[in-house]
Chains A and B, each alone.
Chain A
């Protein structure tokens, strides 16, 4: 496993842990990476604002309002991929 992957796993784990701790609904059974975060109520409008603030601080990235789309926030997989891209972009 190279350094990049370790870092990526870290991103996934942090987002996963954050969601489990802060979900708008009971997720004691865990969150499937492909589960729709918006439809399931795991992320409501306040939750979206909060997780945005969280990842901005945690990963030192800046997210534009226009990037807060259902495409980027729909699932854990999509959101992690989006954050990774932002981290990579901010590192260059």
Chain B
């Protein structure tokens, strides 16, 4: 056998659905809305926390390697995953179940890991793992789960102990695990004040290529948790208090020194870097300004985007532009609905449309480059009519700002309402009905032919069957308005229209076939297979044109070519 990938800890990111390459019994990407990131419907981006884990354990002389199985499968369609896993060698293998859409894929891949590497300890982590930690002990392929928004210390402990040969009675905070079949719960006591106290080294993250399509879009996460309590979010204050064993303090910041160290590692690339500053709404203005100044000083970044919860004071915006004159600054606002009553019920609604429009005008005047507006379907009191009014309002907004980069986007909160969020936990009080509660039913739902069976909720105002038609209509009309107002090209709109029409046709045909025969005819399966192959060649979903599938920071930089060749050949030969 060719060489091995050896480490003390190997972190694996699985595709959302395994094995997406062979599936012709459901439509991939029917719900995908990855506009915020350059990924396909299998969600091949791993948590940023993988990079923090690698740096933190590295500082303790523990060797961590990241193997992005999802992105490798996408890049090498004949890759034999089981064979690939046979080439891994580590006492601990970690998988993320951070986002619920990965519940099928990560559990399946863990099964393969356990099969080929029975001696390795298989540990999970992430937000969803934290919520379902106890239930996850029922899967034979999962040995342990480390709970929490920050798992650096406990994971370092686990790896150090496993390296010393410890195989049971682990002294690891936040971990629930199996010791000779018995479930041992070490509790959830590690809740550090400072988040992920380490700097990520971005310097080697982008492959050396002169291609302009290499999208050097990196992400900086200055904090986690939230001050707000949006009812649909498992990262909210309400959810953190119940899930993360914290009380008053529900936002955890990283130290400014670590952010500054991180910025110094930004690489110089052929295309100018863009930085997506996550969770900026939980930052104070002085910290935000310091951060911006440091990014500006780095001299390698062209644009920065921020999310803001409230309408940032114009005086602060002015300072932002002043401290970073060489940066294009974009702001993301998420009112969720044009209807302020609905907006308020979602946890937002801190401004009216009139206030927002005045603010946009002022922001443009002082040099903010653009504003992205995010609207969501699936909110309380929101009907299909209301959704379409949001789209019509967006058109008026683009008309009012004809030459400015004001970009509205609408998508559905599909297929899941987050486990652990307030509306999931108290559905009746908020007009919600929840259909899947445990992890296993979510896992099974994702591979059902009919899209409605994957949906884990509906509202008093919109039933399950209404979501997809409403979402497709809203996305299509919105995209056409964007073309009318020059936000996207005429060519793009043809692609968008064609793709949404095709998705409508496929999902409709599946529904009809399942209703009449309870199964899918071979001809329809062929059509679905062809669609799935096509959608995976796009690093975008229904709403966008083709983007490259390479040059992204989360793609695999670990597995050497010779191993890939061996595994590709072997699968092809088999």
Is chain B found bound to chain A in the same assembly? yes
A: contact size bracket: 20 to 34
Complex interface: stretch among B108-116, B246-254, B279-287, B487-495: B487-495
The CA of A50 and the CA of B213, in the complex, are separated in Å by 11
Q: Is the CB of B545 within 8 A of A70?
A: no
Q: Which residues of A contact B492 (CB under 8 A)?
A: 46, 50
Known A45-B271, A53-B546; judge A68-B213 contact (CB<8 A): yes
The CA of A47 and the CA of B545, in the complex, are separated in Å by 10
Q: Mark A39-53, 1 if CB is under 8 A from B, else 0.
A: 000000111111011
B215 nearest in chain A by CB position = A45
Q: Say how far B550's CB is from chain A's closest CB, in angstroms.
A: 7
Q: Which residues of B contact A7 (CB under 8 A)?
A: none
Known A50-B492, A53-B546; judge A69-B403 contact (CB<8 A): no
Q: Which residues of A contact B550 (CB under 8 A)?
A: 65
Assess whether B531 is interfacial by the CB under 8 Å rule. no
Q: Say how far A69's CB is from chain B's closest CB, in angstroms.
A: 5
**Residues of chain B at interface, number, CB under 8 A:** 19
Q: Say how far A2's CB is from chain B's closest CB, in angstroms.
A: 32
The CA of A68 and the CA of B547, in the complex, are separated in Å by 13
Interface of A, secondary structure class, is: helix
Assess whether B352 is interfacial by the CB under 8 Å rule. no
Q: Which residues of B contact A54 (CB under 8 A)?
A: 491
Selected contact of B212 from candidates A21, A26, A45, A53, CB within 8 Å: A45
Interface of B, secondary structure class, is: loop
Selected contact of A66 from candidates B211, B215, B544, B547, CB within 8 Å: B211
A47 nearest in chain B by CB position = B489
Q: Which residues of A contact B209 (CB under 8 A)?
A: 65-66
Number of A-B residue pairs having CB atoms within 8 Å of each other in the complex:
54
Selected contact of A22 from candidates B215, B271, B491, CB within 8 Å: B491
Assess whether B521 is interfacial by the CB under 8 Å rule. no
Most B CB within 10 A of own CB, among A22, A49, A54, A73:
A49
Q: Say how far B35's CB is from chain A's closest CB, in angstroms.
A: 12
Assess whether B548 is interfacial by the CB under 8 Å rule. yes
Q: Which residues of B contact A70 (CB under 8 A)?
A: 210, 212, 270-271
Q: Is the CB of B212 within 8 A of A66?
A: no
Q: Which residues of A contact B489 (CB under 8 A)?
A: 21-22, 47, 50
Q: Is the CB of B211 within 8 A of A69?
A: yes
Q: Say how far A46's CB is from chain B's closest CB, in angstroms.
A: 7
Q: Which residues of A contact B544 (CB under 8 A)?
A: 46
Q: Is the CB of B490 within 8 A of A21?
A: yes
Q: Mark B313-332, 1 if CB is under 8 A from A, else 0.
A: 00000000000000000000
Q: Say how far A37's CB is from chain B's closest CB, in angstroms.
A: 11
Q: Say how far A70's CB is from chain B's closest CB, in angstroms.
A: 6
The CA of A71 and the CA of B212, in the complex, are separated in Å by 10
Q: Is the CB of A66 within 8 A of B490?
A: no
Selected contact of A50 from candidates B271, B403, B545, B548, CB within 8 Å: B545
Q: Say how far A59's CB is from chain B's closest CB, in angstroms.
A: 15
Q: Say how far A86's CB is from chain B's closest CB, in angstroms.
A: 16
Q: Is the CB of B545 within 8 A of A48?
A: no
A38 nearest in chain B by CB position = B212
Known A45-B271, A50-B489; judge A69-B212 contact (CB<8 A): yes
Q: Is the CB of B545 within 8 A of A49?
A: yes
Q: Is the CB of A22 within 8 A of B490?
A: yes
Q: Which residues of A contact B213 (CB under 8 A)?
A: 45, 48-49, 52, 65, 68
Q: Which residues of A contact B490 (CB under 8 A)?
A: 21-22
| A residues lining the B interface (CB < 8 Å) | 21-22, 26, 38, 45-50, 52-54, 65-71, 73
Question: Known contacts A46-B545, A50-B491, A53-B546; can you find 16 more A-B pairs with CB under 8 A?
Answer: A21-B490, A22-B490, A45-B271, A48-B213, A49-B548, A54-B491, A65-B213, A65-B548, A66-B209, A66-B211, A67-B211, A68-B212, A69-B210, A69-B211, A69-B212, A71-B210
Closest 4 CB pairs of A and B: A22-B489, A69-B210, A65-B211, A68-B211
Task: Pick 10 A–B contacts, CB within 8 A, sort by A.
Answer: A22-B490, A49-B547, A50-B492, A50-B545, A52-B213, A53-B545, A65-B548, A69-B210, A70-B212, A71-B210
